[in-house]
Amino acid sequence: MIFLLRRLGFYFAAFMVAITLNFLLPRLMPGDPTTRIFASLRGKLRPEQLDVLREAYGLDGSLLDQYLNYLWALLHLDFGISTVHYPEPTADLLFYAAGWTLFLVGVAIALSFAIGILMGIYSAWHRGGFFDSVFTPINVMMNAFTPAVVALLLWYAFTMQWTIFPLGRAHDINLTPGWNLASAGNIAWHAVLPVLSIVLVNFGSWHLGMRNTMINLLNEDFVVLARAKGLSDRRIRNRYVARNAILPQITSLALSVGYVFGGAFIAEVVFNYPGLGKFTLNAIESRDYTFIQAQLTLLTCSVLVANLISDVCNVVLDPRLRRAGGH
Amino acid sequence: MQTFLTNRKAVAGLVILAIFIVMSALAPILAPHDPYRRAGKPHVQPGFEHVLGTTRQGKDVFSQLLEGGRTSLTVGFIAGISATLIGLGVGISAGYFGGKIDEVLTFFVNVVLVLPAMPLIIVLASFVEEASPTIIGLVLAVTGWGWTARTIRTQTMAIKSREFVLAAELMGERKWRIILREILPNMSSFVVGGFVLATIYGILAEAALEFIGLGSPSSVTWGTMLYWAQRAQALQVGAWWEIWPPAVAIMLTGAALVLINFGVDEITSPQLRAARIGGRIKRFLKRRGRSVDVF
């Protein structure tokens, strides 16, 4: 309990640092949204009107005033109005994009985790065997493979060479997504390649992580004791070794789940997927402060929450933490 | 060092990496054409005139590959070295001095670890419009030192309680001298491991940033080569030679570094090395009709 309270304190402090950064970073970038709009209208806007625009976007006043306003708005979950997609509220855009990203990257991470962990258990248990000696080096290579190339090649092979999958987007243009079978099928069909492109570069590190942790555990005394007690291999593998080896993997899983909201920039760019990555890039290009801030805030919160969940999981799964109450 | 050189994986990685470093260091001499200028017709197939063909803009791919290696490896190493130095400094100070210093530093390490790196890098990189490769390298270092710092801190705390450090302290050695002479040499494998990982991260992240168009498109790196290849729809028009060379180069460099890291890992935790020998013993005994399940 003390352990969790200490962590909660840390997460709050980290949250404050993060949202302050989220506020400062976009403002430190050269150019602001209003000058972009001013430039894009090519002189149709008088300088006085620019001031009005600044005021409307809450960009007037000192940096401290703006910061306090920002904190106050944040407290009310008010993310402001997008300066690019005016007058659309930023929150609407954000949740639209977040929905697609959550689906795309969520499925991809779940798949790579499951595949990687199972492969890791198998190859650690049959160390030096055929499977281990073939897949471990392959995964080393996949680990080093650039996501960009994997995505491009998949895209080229399956949409250009063999026109099996659609060229991009999350669903057909004339389809209005809804909770029905036809719609779900269409969306799933569009997601196959982007998901595959993320899974291919990711499952290797789960495999390697699980394999190495398991190998280290196999030589521990408690495993030797379990063998001496004559427990079945299956039980030793699943209940003794795998269960312990999965702890550090869960911590990293929590982290990557947090990163879901970072968006899969490369997959989204290559497959023209309407997720957070694509929206963020557009927002950065057009200096849409409100969207960048909102996106970074969403991301920070999700990473922190994911970390908190992993802490709780660890406390539940690892009795030592419960008893010690410290780090 | 000797154990390192007898490790096959590490040696293979070192050899591949060395080839890339030498080739890109000699780029100005080896490159047959100016990588920044038009050298022939657009999308010429690989052949006698252009070893790896030309890009849509008629630039020589082979020359670009060499020149790109220069920038990409430099960015990777800048990121790797800076991240390792920051991590080392923070980690050792936190681990050795302990107390309040440790608490404050550990807080920052945890914040860096928890903050989402990639979007932060993207925002940071777009600070400067068309960020140069060096700036990208430094930005990557700022966000990538957390893990090194954490490992080094734990390691420092372990070494700190050993007899020889205590002896040095009792002899009244100065603190920075103890850190440099007693503690640092005992952490070389962790430092190398952290450096290798930070460098891989640097090279891959740079390529990703350039690919989504956040670098400076006028510079020649493996990342911008991929960016232009995608922009020129190289695959659609069948110009595979515009995509494959930078892709394979990034992959091989990454794989080389991963292999080196494997070597370092096997040296620091002997169980992983025993795995190979264990497999051999097992096979040996199996051939004699015996099965063992010790390893």
CB within 8 Å: B208 and A149: no
CB within 8 Å: B122 and A26: no
The pLDDT tens digits for A290-317 are 888 888 888 888 888 888 887 777 777 7
pLDDT surpasses 70 at A39: no
Query: Which pLDDT does position B86 carry in this prediction?
Result: 93
CB within 8 Å: B111 and A300: no
CB within 8 Å: B283 and A215: no
Chain A interface includes B175 (CB < 8 A): no
ipTM, two decimals, is 0.72
Is it true that the peptide bond before B28 is cis, omega within 30 degrees of 0?
A: no
3-state secondary structure of A89: strand
Query: Which pLDDT does position A263 carry in this prediction?
Result: 61
Query: Which pLDDT does position A114 carry in this prediction?
Result: 92
Query: Which pLDDT does position A43 carry in this prediction?
Result: 64
Mean pLDDT of B220-236: 84
Contact, A142 vs A233, CB < 8 A? Answer: no
Looking at chain B, the whole-number percentage of residues with pLDDT higher than 90 is: 7
State how far the Cα of B31 lies from the Cα of B26, in Å rounded to an integer: 8
Cβ contacts below 8 Å, chain A against chain B, sum to 147
In 3D, which of B58, B37, B218 has the Cα closest to residue B130?
Answer: B218
Tell me which of B224 and B181 has the higher pLDDT.
B224
State how far the Cα of A61 lies from the Cα of A82, in Å rounded to an integer: 19
pLDDT surpasses 50 at B291: no
Q: Looking at beta carbons, which residues of chain A come within 8 Å of B124?
A: 25
Residue A9 contacts by C-beta under 8 Å, 6 or more apart in sequence?
none
Return residues 229-248 of A near B (CB < 8 Å): 233
The pLDDT tens digits for A200-251 are 888 888 888 888 888 877 777 787 787 788 778 788 777 777 877 787 787 7
CB within 8 Å: A145 and B279: no
Buried/exposed code over B114-144 (b: 16+ C-beta within 10 A; e: otherwise): bbbbbbbbbbbbbeeeebebebbbbbbbbbb
Residue B84's Cβ-side half-sphere holds a number of Cα atoms within 13 Å equal to: 23
Q: Looking at beta carbons, which residues of chain B come within 8 Å of A283?
A: none
- Looking at the partner chain, which of A143, A153, A216 has a beta carbon nearest the beta carbon of B271? A216
Q: Looking at beta carbons, which residues of chain B come within 8 Å of A143?
A: 254, 258
Q: Looking at beta carbons, which residues of chain B come within 8 Å of A28?
A: 127
Q: Which of B72, B212, B228, B282 to mutate to test the interface with A (most CBs of A within 10 A)?
A: B212
B277 pLDDT tier (thresholds 50, 70, 90): very low
How large is the angle between the packed helices A243-259 and A90-125, nearest 10 degrees?
A: 160
pTM of the model: 0.78
Lowest average pLDDT, out of A244-248, B199-203, B279-283, goes to B279-283
Query: Which pLDDT does position A37 carry in this prediction?
Result: 66
pLDDT surpasses 50 at B284: no
The pLDDT tens digits for B129-159 are 666 778 888 888 888 888 888 888 888 888 8
Average pLDDT, chain A: 78
The pLDDT tens digits for B44-90 are 778 777 777 787 777 888 888 888 888 899 989 999 999 999 999 99
Lowest average pLDDT, out of A58-62, A279-283, B16-20, B211-215, goes to A58-62
Q: Which of B120, B139, B252, B268 to mutate to test the interface with A (most CBs of A within 10 A)?
A: B120
The pLDDT tens digits for A139-184 are 766 766 777 778 888 888 887 778 777 777 777 777 777 777 777 7
Contact, B236 vs B47, CB < 8 A? Answer: no
State how far the Cα of B187 lies from the Cα of A190, in Å rounded to an integer: 49
B288 pLDDT tier (thresholds 50, 70, 90): very low
How large is the angle between the packed helices B99-114 and A289-317, nearest 10 degrees?
A: 120
- Looking at the partner chain, which of A152, A160, A304 has a beta carbon nearest the beta carbon of B230? A152
Chain B interface includes A185 (CB < 8 A): no
Q: How many Å lie between the alpha carbon of A243 and the closest alpha carbon of chain B?
A: 19
Mean pLDDT of A25-36: 67
Lowest average pLDDT, out of A191-195, A223-227, B108-112, B118-122, goes to B118-122
Q: Looking at beta carbons, which residues of chain B come within 8 Å of A10?
A: 107, 110
DSSP structure class, residue A81: B
Average pLDDT, chain B: 79
CB within 8 Å: B250 and A149: yes
The pLDDT tens digits for A98-148 are 888 888 888 998 999 999 888 888 888 887 777 877 777 777 667 667 777
Lowest average pLDDT, out of A2-16, A121-135, A169-183, B98-112, goes to A169-183
